[in-house]
Chains A and B, each alone.
Chain A
């Protein structure tokens, strides 16, 4: 069923050291892929990498620490990924899974002054994908997966204040970033799907039992998140990871709708496929990720 006839596919996954990402990383390796994973914590990356390299001795396993909260670090991460893959004979990135995400009760700003959820959950996937675009287009065709969430349906892009300096709440910022994920996939497909060289999928993993909602939250939000992820409807991250890895490595049955919830195609919010919004968000994001501009003294 693999889309790759010969050789190992080269897969890049962000947020690989915990939750869904970690479960997916294991499954990718078991499926025989060469994988470069990205994580936030240096310690966790190092210990996971040595653990996995001991288990999977015949394929590429790297777990690279990279702070996806600023554009220059994300660019450095992309460079590192390219170098690692090149060294092991991969000129292409066959699959990029943008999975890393954060949530925070309080409004936190990145070193660039950006709101952290918008920066990590949306701008980082935008930039990493664009940085790896030449390599992705060498894939068969390249596949970009952005892990989004059903909560994008209640999201809104705050065009006048995307950093939510006014009226910040964790959910408002989270939903905005997840809607941005789907709009980003919409625009990616607009731009690249016709060339046949790249296809983007927005993947909704369902409500999982992971700790993203409790890493940097407090009070009522933490409590509610705790209740939700312990509810009987919550999915084991590994179940969600199985569907994600199938989407990453297998032939996708036609019609290959770009929005998928677990194993099946689903319908995203209408506003997430609005072509004008998708193009507008791309322009805004490109400006916010523009490469180094000289700062006069």
Chain B
């Protein structure tokens, strides 16, 4: 039977690469994102290029009602869903005191809660014999406390930690694979952030389509964590040898310098503008 891949955040660069790769492998697609028009445009491209069925449902995954509705639709589809890819997520980078708390809360709801709710919805009903392949998009940030991205990094730690735990608990029903990529060149601002980090930023950056292919392969084999890129894996290993307090200090200085965020002097604390 033809299986369906459910992809959240499908209209973004990473989401549309996941959609393209699943379609190229002959999977049908069920796509969601906030903006219906972007989903339609993407669906059109996918259907022209591949012989697959593309369904779509626009919803705001930070909204409780919207999210429950979508989860309900998915539950009805459970038997045909072979993969769930939780891509939806965003960052609000910059000095903490100049962040809008409402935005940070919305970020927590999308980055942490949405994937959890959808996974719950798809695993709580009896499935066919096929394992559900869940791919959760975290970030290299999941491994570190990150100044200027404090809340974001913590949401990604949540994704990593809960995925590894659920992977054990749901064994026999689902496999859970966490993707922990470095920055990806999916949007102009992401590309600018990569360039701002200098040579290291560029060296740790990989093509999205390669990351996606590697991740789907890993998910099909039931692997727990994907860290794309040799250099990223090396940096990650090295960082495990250093206490996280020091890592946080290092990262803070790096981002602070690269993005010219204000020093933490009391006089400037309230003056920091948005990034």
Contact = CB atoms under 8 A, between A and B. Distances in A.
Interface string B37-70: 0101111111111000111110000000000000
Contact of A216 (B13, B191, B208, B213): B191
Kindly list the 4 A-B residue pairs having the minimum CB-CB distance in the complex, ordered from nearest: A112-B45, A106-B185, A165-B209, A107-B207
Interface of B: 11, 13, 16-17, 19-21, 24, 38, 40-49, 53-57, 185-186, 191, 194-195, 199, 202, 205, 207-210, 213
A112 B44 contact: yes
A72 interface: yes
A30 interface: no
Contact of A293 (B44, B191, B208): B44
Contacts, number: 89
Given A107-B208, A107-B209, A163 B44 contact: no
B202 A218 contact: yes
B47 A293 contact: yes
Contacts of B195: 218
B48 A165 contact: no
A109 B13 contact: yes
Report whether over half of chain B's contact residues are helix, strand or loop; otherwise say mixed: helix
A39 to B, nearest CB: 17
A251 B29 CA distance: 53
B20 A295 contact: no
Interface in A214-268: 216, 218-219
B45 A113 contact: yes
A70 interface: yes
Contacts of B41: 70, 72, 111-112
A108 B49 contact: no
A292 interface: yes
A297 interface: yes
Nearest to B11: A111
A148 B171 CA distance: 54
Given A108-B13, A113-B19, A219-B202, A166 B57 contact: no
A295 B207 contact: no
Interface string A141-171: 0000000000000000000000111101000
A295 B209 contact: no
A220 to B, nearest CB: 9
Nearest to B206: A106
Contact of A296 (B46, B55, B205): B55
B44 A295 contact: yes
Contact of A114 (B19, B45, B56): B45
Interface of A: 70-72, 105-114, 163-166, 168, 216, 218-219, 287-290, 292-293, 295-297
A180 to B, nearest CB: 16
A34 B69 CA distance: 55
Contacts of A163: 20, 49, 209
Contacts of A287: 48-49
Pick from B11, B43, B54, B194 the residue with the most CB of A within 10 Å. Answer: B43
Contacts of B191: 106, 216
Given A107-B209, A165-B21, 13 more contacts: A71-B44, A107-B207, A108-B13, A113-B46, A114-B49, A165-B24, A166-B213, A168-B210, A218-B194, A219-B202, A288-B45, A289-B48, A293-B47
A219 B202 CA distance: 7
B38 A111 contact: yes
Contact of B42 (A111, A216, A219, A293): A111
Nearest to B23: A113
A278 B19 CA distance: 29
Contacts of A114: 45, 49
A295 B13 CA distance: 21
Nearest to B40: A295
A71 B195 CA distance: 30
A288 B199 CA distance: 37
A112 B44 CA distance: 7
Contact of B209 (A70, A166, A293): A166
A288 B48 contact: yes
B233 to A, nearest CB: 20
A168 B17 contact: no
A114 B55 CA distance: 19
Contact of A165 (B20, B42, B202): B20
Contacts of B20: 109, 113, 163, 165
A44 B128 CA distance: 56
B43 A295 contact: yes
B11 to A, nearest CB: 7
Contacts of A108: 13, 185-186
A72 B191 CA distance: 26
Contacts of A72: 41, 44
